[in-house]
Structure 1
Amino acid sequence: MTDTPNPALLPNGLSDGLPPRAEHEAAIGDRLLAVVRGHGYQRVKPPLIEFEESLLSGTGRALVHDTFRVMDPVSQRMMGVRPDFTVQIGRIATSRLHQEPRPLRLCYAGQVLRVRGSQLRPERQFTQVGAELIGADEAITTVADAEVVVMAAEALQTAGVTGATIDLTLPTLPAVLFDTHGVPAAARPALRAALDQKDTAAVRERAPSAALGDLLVGLIRATGPADEALAAMAALDLPPAAAQRHADLAALVARIQAARPDPALTVDPLEGRGFEYYTGFGFSIFAPGARGELARGGRYTAGRGDRVEQATGFTVMMDAVLDAIPAPVPPARVLAPEDADPRLVARLRAEGWVVLDALRPLDDPAAEARRLGCSHGLGADGPVVLG
């Protein structure tokens, strides 16, 4: 005899969104989008699944191991379920919208699915909300970068997040230093892993020269509040390409601080985990009460082939945001009897009341209202608090 599986049983990392959290997530997502739309960002809606050669090309190559793939029974071609929105937005911008004026400002919201979760975020399906600024002139990249960071902070604050910290990083800096110091390709993964773990002893051991080891350890120790970290970086003997990245980061920090002094800014110059396809700076936003980061973003290359553009964007992880903000206050619910005045019911709903319609005559309206989770009954003149 075969046991019938529990119908509520779902695969690891997947879950049903239930009241009131599902409704709260939708409301907060709308609030975030309202902020970015107020900055001129227009919403797009890419498909949940598309051909893998477009989804996993260009910057999408960094997402290969996160992507579910299936065979399309119609075309007999492999397709991928999006693990992230950014690559899709870049494709839309550089193909369907390539003739639109630049810079192009786009935003989005929807579900993503990943092959596996992480220790901090075991969920494999979750909602992302975000925005991308694509095609800004090279001369104003710092201005564009600052717009995105400041807008992300503003959106999260509007959603109710307090005590946020913005952590800035230079994910391409290790590669610049490896190139300058001639680190062999075979030695780079182990050295990169030591940097990710902030293991200074391993960094010195795996660096091919004492000079590089000292420099990398100095950069690890430069992690901290933005002004202090930038000063510590400036005291190091950075090669010209690395010094330019430091100067660009300093200019970005100054612009962010001038526009929005309230979020704390920190710098971790060598952090690269999760920023694999970024070509410039990267940033993460953290807040008390949340597991991991609330948002992540930075500068990257959108598109592929001969249609590529510089872009800056951010993605908000809605599950983390909900953990960082107060739980919603349930709206007052009213049970309207079967013969209630429809004009009164319509007015109450327009005022923000949740009004449930009784589907049959009630012998005890108050008892039925309590059973359905209502705090009020409905009298001739309006809601009546249940005793």
Structure 2
Amino acid sequence: MLDLSLPAGLRDLLPDHSAHLAELSGRLHDVFSSFGYRRVFLPTLERLEVVERGLSPAALAGVLKFVEPGSGEVVAIRPDITPQIARLYATRADALPSPARLCYDGPVLRAREARAGRPREVYQAGVELLGAGGPRADAEALLLLARSLETVGLSGTVIEVGHARFAAEVLAAARLGPAALAVAHEALARKDADGLAAAARRARGPAGAREAMPLLVSLYGEGALTRARALAKGLPGAASALREVESALRLARRRGLPEVTVDLGEVRGLGYYTGIVFAGYAPGAGSAVAAGGRYDGLLARFGRPDPAIGFAVDLEFATQALERQAGRGRRPPRRAASRAGRRASP
């Protein structure tokens, strides 16, 4: 008997839900366009070597790959769109001067579920600012994310800001061995101060770095920047990362960024984040509705060394939040209303 079920982690989207995703993507692109970002369409397949160059070994474990029948080449279904943007930017310098502001949407597919119940196929809409570094570009990305979430009608959103290197610099200064470093990363993910303290006792670095490790879990929420300044004293790498976060927030707030939450005790990413990182959360969504950050080393891997920053909105989780908020009496704005964003100066 024919099995009509879908492979694990995949699902059909029925007309109403599909219409909501398409509507959301359209409203997001209205906002992206108002900031000067131009849309590109990218193929679903890439050569495996392109994907391998763009992701960490851990992320590569989720790549779905196969041999093309005609050419014998090994290709991959994209698990992430940012490396594709990097490849495009590197190969089309004639058409994409620096800085380049690009936006996109489309699905990405992973070989396995990131966690139970999480779809393997994820629909995204995002932006990449290529060839622009420093706090001005960081501030632009933060402001664009905030404006995007606001304009599409999400209520009660929280933007969480951190830095890819802050906690990593503390751990590096503590001089942990491989096993202790793995324990520290797991403890950080759980916000486990006792686990970090245990790992610190196996460190060989200076006392200041060892003492700072358990305190990383406190670098969240109100007063986090003040606590981070005290912790980073005597740790130049962490202090430098902290200055980048503070500079970006200062500029973004001058341009109207609403209040954000700071979390400097995170070590996360796809293997290419090098600076400020951020995520957007909304009531009613099962996970972050958006995430991104600075990735200054990625473009060099493709032969055009330039700074870059960007983010992607998870259309499924954002739609989930909008539908649940609408069910509680909050109606998301129609797309026509969102075009007011075109009049706003980025």
TM-score range, shorter chain: 0.7 to 0.9
TM-score, with structure 1 as normaliser: 0.77
**What's the offset of the Cα at 1:268?**
1.3
**What's the offset of the Cα at 1:305?**
5.0
Match of 2:271 among 271, 276, 279: 276
Q: Does 1:201 align with 2:194?
A: yes
**What's the offset of the Cα at 1:205?**
0.9
Secondary structure of 1:293's partner?
coil
Secondary structure of 1:315's partner?
strand
Question: 1:147-296 to 2 correspondence within 5 Å?
Answer: 147-207=140-200, 208=203, 211-225=208-222, 228-236=223-231, 237-262=233-258, 264-296=259-291
CA distance in 2, matches of 1:305, 1:101: 16
Secondary structure of 2:252's partner?
helix
Deviation per residue, 1:146-177 (Å, 9 max, x gap): 11111111112111111111111122223322
Secondary structure of 1:50's partner?
strand
**Percent sequence identity over matched residues?**
33
CA distance in 1, matches of 2:120, 2:71: 27
Paired amino acid for 1:279: T
Q: Does 1:4 align with 2:5?
A: no
- Which structure has greater strand proportion? 1
Name 2:322's counterpart in structure 1: 325
CA contact (8 A) 1:180 1:239 kept: yes
TM-score, with structure 2 as normaliser: 0.86
CA contact (8 A) 1:171 1:270 kept: no
**What's the offset of the Cα at 1:102?**
1.2
CA distance in 1, matches of 2:188, 2:13: 38
Match of 1:40 among 24, 36, 39: 36
Paired amino acid for 2:212: L
Deviation per residue, 1:99-130 (Å, 9 max, x gap): 63211101100111111223476111121000
**What's the offset of the Cα at 1:184?**
2.9
Match of 1:100 among 68, 76, 96: 96
Check 1:234–1:165 CA distance in 2 against 1; reply closer, same or farther (3 A cut).
same
Which stretches in structure 2 are left out of the alignment for 5+ residues? 327-346
**What's the offset of the Cα at 1:199?**
1.2
**What's the offset of the Cα at 1:249?**
0.8
Check 1:121–1:103 CA distance in 2 against 1; reply closer, same or farther (3 A cut).
farther
Question: 1:20-169 to 2 correspondence within 5 Å?
Answer: 20-59=16-55, 61=57, 63-97=59-93, 100-119=96-115, 122-136=118-132, 138=133, 141-169=134-162
CA contact (8 A) 1:133 1:311 kept: yes
Structure 1, 246-255 or 310-319: larger mean CA deviation: 246-255
Check 1:26–1:290 CA distance in 2 against 1; reply closer, same or farther (3 A cut).
same
Check 1:307–1:101 CA distance in 2 against 1; reply closer, same or farther (3 A cut).
closer
CA contact (8 A) 2:124 2:315 kept: yes
Which stretches in structure 1 are left out of the alignment for 5+ residues? 330-387
CA distance in 1, matches of 2:110, 2:303: 29
Greater RCO (CA < 8 Å, at least 6 residues apart): 2
Which structure: larger Rg?
1
Name 2:310's counterpart in structure 1: 313
CA contact (8 A) 1:116 1:122 kept: no
CA contact (8 A) 1:171 1:276 kept: no
Check 1:99–1:64 CA distance in 2 against 1; reply closer, same or farther (3 A cut).
same
**What's the offset of the Cα at 1:186?**
4.4
CA distance in 2, matches of 1:36, 1:75: 38
**What's the offset of the Cα at 1:314?**
0.4
Check 1:58–1:123 CA distance in 2 against 1; reply closer, same or farther (3 A cut).
closer
Deviation per residue, 1:77-111 (Å, 9 max, x gap): 11110011111011101112366321110110011
CA distance in 2, matches of 1:306, 1:261: 34
Secondary structure of 1:279's partner?
coil
CA contact (8 A) 1:165 1:286 kept: yes
- Which structure has greater helix proportion? 2
CA distance in 1, matches of 2:253, 2:115: 32
